[in-house]
Amino acid sequence: MTPPKIKIESLDFYYNDHRILSDINETIPENAITAILGPSGVGKSTFLSLFNRLWETTPAARAEGRVLVRFSRSFMDINAPKFSVVQLRRSVGMVFQMPNPLPMSIFNNVAFPLKLAGIKKKEEVRSRVTTAIQACGLWPEVKDRLDKKAAVLSGGQQQRLCMARALVMEPEILLLDEPTSSLDPKSGKMIEELMVRLKQRCTLIMVSHQPDQVKRIADHVIDFTPGPES
Ligand code: ADP
């Protein structure tokens, strides 16, 4: 197993007074695919939201405990008050269950995070967008229509475009919440193959409902399936 990228220590998570996650202690290996498994409602998406602090957008939510991420050499507690959430979200990309392209061109969809980050040099933007689209195996399918609306793409192509949009910031961690469950089997297989290739570039954490998918591509599994006593 590769060295740890993330360490979760004594983590409790609440919505109002309702405890969703209790005393979680886990390690997530770097440059590997970690799968989060379990039935609906056990807290898999909530667990995923710890790593980009997306949970903070829910007013009733509260996390206690430590989420330590290794950036460069040292582990940092991403919940510490002085830790920049803007910086965190540049290092942690996310892909959702339903492809969610923005209502703009294929090119601008992938360039959008660069614009937000203040990266304006045309050559740099073009080169990073091209590299990200190529990394997602989408280049041959879109290279002649980069100025067309992203909505013209199929669902599978849109999902790979969303992965390119996440990758253009060269994230260290990529979160994926059931990334293939809205896709046909062929598109799902392409996303799986892409995830396996992406291990060279980043650490992947994926929520999955599909045990066969987890067997095929996961290197490490965190299973939230309740035991018989609970
Ligand atoms: P899973 O991904 O395993 O289906 P979730 O993390 O989405 O589970 O949800 C875990 C539990 O937290 C569920 O009982 C859900 O109803 C509850 N929950 C999720 N989001 C919120 C929220 N914003 N406010 C209150 N409760 C929530």
For residue 108, the domain's CATH number is: 3.40.50.300
| Alpha-carbon span 74 to 184, nearest angstrom | 41
Residue identified by tokens 């979760």 is: 8
Spatial CA neighbour of 217 closest among 230, 202, 205: 205
Position 132 in a domain = yes
Would you say the CB of residue 200 lies under 6 angstroms from ligand 1? no
What amino acid is encoded at 148 in this protein? K
Residue identified by tokens 């996390």 is: 63
Would you say the CB of residue 49 lies under 6 angstroms from ligand 1? no
Domain count, the chain: 1
The whole model's pTM is what? 0.95
Q: What is the pLDDT of residue 230?
A: 61
| Alpha-carbon span 133 to 21, nearest angstrom | 36
Show pLDDT as tens, one digit a residue, over the chain (230 residues).
Answer: 889 999 999 999 999 999 999 999 999 999 999 999 999 999 999 999 999 999 999 999 999 999 999 998 899 999 998 999 999 999 999 999 999 999 999 999 999 999 999 999 999 999 999 999 999 999 999 999 999 999 999 999 999 999 999 999 999 999 999 999 999 999 999 999 999 999 999 999 999 989 999 999 999 999 999 888 76
Q: What is the pLDDT of residue 228?
A: 80
Position 228 in a domain = no
Position 19 in a domain = yes
What is the extent of the structural domain holding 144?
4-223
Q: Cα of 61 to ligand 1 centre, how many Å?
A: 10
Residue of 17, 20, 207, 210 with the most ligand 1 atoms within 8 Å of its CB, for mutation:
20
Report the nearest-CA residue for atom 27 of ligand 1: 15
